[in-house]
Amino acid sequence: MRILHTSDWHLGRSFHRVNLLDAQAAFIDHLVATVRSERVEAVLVAGDVYDRALPGLPAVELFDDALHRLAALGVPTVMISGNHDSARRLGVASGLIERAGVHLRTDPAGCDKPVILADEHGDIALYGLPYLEPALVRDEFGLERAGHTAVLAAAMDRVRADLATRPAGTRSVILAHAFVTGGAACDSERDITVGGVAAVPAGIFDGADYVALGHLHGCQTITEQLRYSGSPLAYSFSEADHRKTMWLVDLGAGGAIAAERLDCPVPRRLARIRGKLDELLGDPALAGHEDAWVEATLTDPHRPHEPMARLRKRFPHTLALAFDPDRADEDALTSYAQRLRGRTDQQIAEDFVAHVRGSGPDRRERAVLSQALDAVRAHAAGTEAN
């Protein structure tokens, strides 16, 4: 059976305030086209369909479009909820949607109720394990105290018990949303350490023929049978070196695996540049980054004047700005007061915005800051006069 494994769509998410909905729609187009061109027989979506529990209407509309198009292909689709999703909301109307061949698995109580498919080698049982927050699901699994390892182990015990009742030779596919030991994380994943140690051992899934993992945004192979597809788009500059793909998996007789990475569309490349501002603006080796989304880290000993505006003249898609001054040892102890000497209140306020947010204020924001500072000065003058 030919399976397409994807995850972590994060519909509705932006990238440093850049709306990614068009790029996410382009990915859905690519997904549907891939299902057709590669003759996919089952689609797996391993969680984090949405970016937040209460997604905006445009994200919901895009998901609705994806469901209709996948259903129209007549190819079974299995989806689970991730830690960014509201399992209850994502699972609304799942019974009706299932009649169209789209199987939403969002209820922990149903983790041992597989979708049964078949090919020339026999039955395949696909089990969807939604993201299991230990504090919320421990009662379901009869655990007094639980962490991520305990609840996943309990869920897999149920899966194995059900699989034991199936005809001999039934192959098993697991969808899970978890941080498996050995996986490499990045900056755009929401921390799931609440409720115990986040990472779970790969051995929890022993016995499964294929485990389609979600949560980590980099495509990676934990073992031949355990794989993360990663997110189809980059959601942080820490993913600048990622190759965004889906797994095309052929599950053969006896659980044999053949897997191939299929590239996803890239709306714009990411680039991380570092150095003194004048060097970055004049370095011909950086010409290839002029059309990329850029994160710049400036190493000037002192913060340059209007660095974001100057960067954007050469790199118009600069989205993030950080400062890591390359100072001599004697400068390291320079007092805060000395560093501010000679700078106006407006410059200090704008620097603070850039430091906290990663990008400086735009023209409208600079005007608001100026008005606020004027109001403070006027109030102070009035207080002194009284």
Question: Can you give the pLDDT of all 386 residues of the chain as single tens digits?
Answer: 999 999 999 999 999 999 999 999 999 999 999 999 999 999 999 999 999 999 999 999 999 999 999 999 999 999 999 999 999 999 999 999 999 999 999 999 999 999 999 999 999 999 999 999 999 999 999 998 889 999 999 999 999 999 999 999 999 999 999 999 988 888 887 766 544 457 899 999 999 999 999 999 999 999 999 999 999 999 999 999 999 999 999 999 999 999 999 999 999 999 999 999 999 999 999 999 999 999 999 999 888 999 999 999 999 999 999 999 986 654 544 556 666 777 888 888 888 887 777 678 888 999 999 899 888 887 876 666 55
145 CB-contact burial (10 Å; exposed 0-12 / middle 13-18 / buried 19+): exposed
For 27, residues 6+ apart whose C-beta sits below 8 A from its C-beta are 9, 232, 233, 264, 265
Predicted confidence at residue 90, as pLDDT, reads 94
What pLDDT sits at residue 329?
Answer: 52
Specify the CATH architecture of the domain 2-263.
4-Layer Sandwich (3.60)
Q: Rounded mean pLDDT of the chain?
A: 92
Sign, CA torsion 282/283/285/288: negative
Distance CA 198, CA 155 (A): 16
Question: Which residues, listed in sequence order, are joined to residue 173 by a DSSP beta bridge?
Answer: 126, 210
Neighbours of 182 (CB within 10 A): 13
Distance, in Å, from the CA atom of 239 to the CA atom of 259, rounded to the nearest integer, reads 22
**Whole-number Å distance between alpha carbons of 20 and 241:** 19
Q: Where are the domains of the chain?
A: 2-263, 270-383
Going by C-alpha positions, the residue among 137, 85, 128, 88 that lies closest to residue 105 is 128
Pairing of strands 42-46, 2-6: parallel
* Block residue for tokens 């996919």: 40
Closest CA to 169 of 132, 211, 125: 125
